[in-house]
Structure 1
């Protein structure tokens, strides 16, 4: 993914979060992955939110950036089937925000 694709991905993921009553606090990515800091209400199942984030963004990015997405690399998938989610309750949020902001975003 390049900067343009990551910018669009952020827009799409921000809207998905809003639809779930969650807030995308920080977003950044590299050519092959993204980092998100999301505040979500306890009633929202994290797995459902992640599935929607990946599913909606995959459909939109494939449709809008046809020809730039190499489906052969991911065997037809846009995102890896796995994800990592960690809780940062009690941790200084600025540390997490700084980590995400410092990702080496491609041109």
Structure 2
């Protein structure tokens, strides 16, 4: 992501899902997280609306591509664990959805 590099940041891991994005970024201490988030959301929205003009006609969050909020956490010693979480989050969510679809008591035991 060019915007991150311009701000002195490094994208470590990125996972784009249907309704949200997981992003692990190394951010220099001089840059606020809200400033980084604003730049990323603003620039990506402009690029997406330019590439896909039909999206402007959809009523996303008051004609904005991104929702207003975001969730941020700091990473210390467990950076490898967080990186794996971001990388494999989509698979984990699919697994959790599948578990919710199974009837109570687990898979069917017919035929045993």
Fold equivalence (TM over 0.5):
yes
Give the RMSD, CA atoms, in angstroms. 1.7
Per-residue CA deviation, residues 10-69 of structure 1 (Å, 9 max, x unaligned), is xxxx11110100101100121111010000110111111110000000000111122256
Secondary structure in structure 1 of the residue aligned to 2:89: coil
Secondary structure in structure 2 of the residue aligned to 1:60: helix
Aligned length: 91
Give the match for residue 80 of structure 1: 67
RCO higher in 1 or 2 (8 Å CA, sep ≥ 6)?
Answer: 1
Q: Name the CA shift for 1:94/1:70 in 2 (closer, same or farther; >3 Å).
A: farther
Give the match for residue 22 of structure 1: 9
Question: What is the TM-score normalised by the length of structure 2?
Answer: 0.73
Question: What is the TM-score normalised by the length of structure 1?
Answer: 0.76
Q: Distance in 2 between matches of 1:75 and 1:50?
A: 19
> After the TM superposition, which parts of structure 1 deviate over 6 Å for at least 4 consecutive aligned residues?
none
Larger Rg: 2
Question: Which structure dedicates a bigger proportion of its chain to helix?
Answer: 2
Judge conservation of contact 1:71–1:77 (CA < 8 Å) in 2. Answer: no
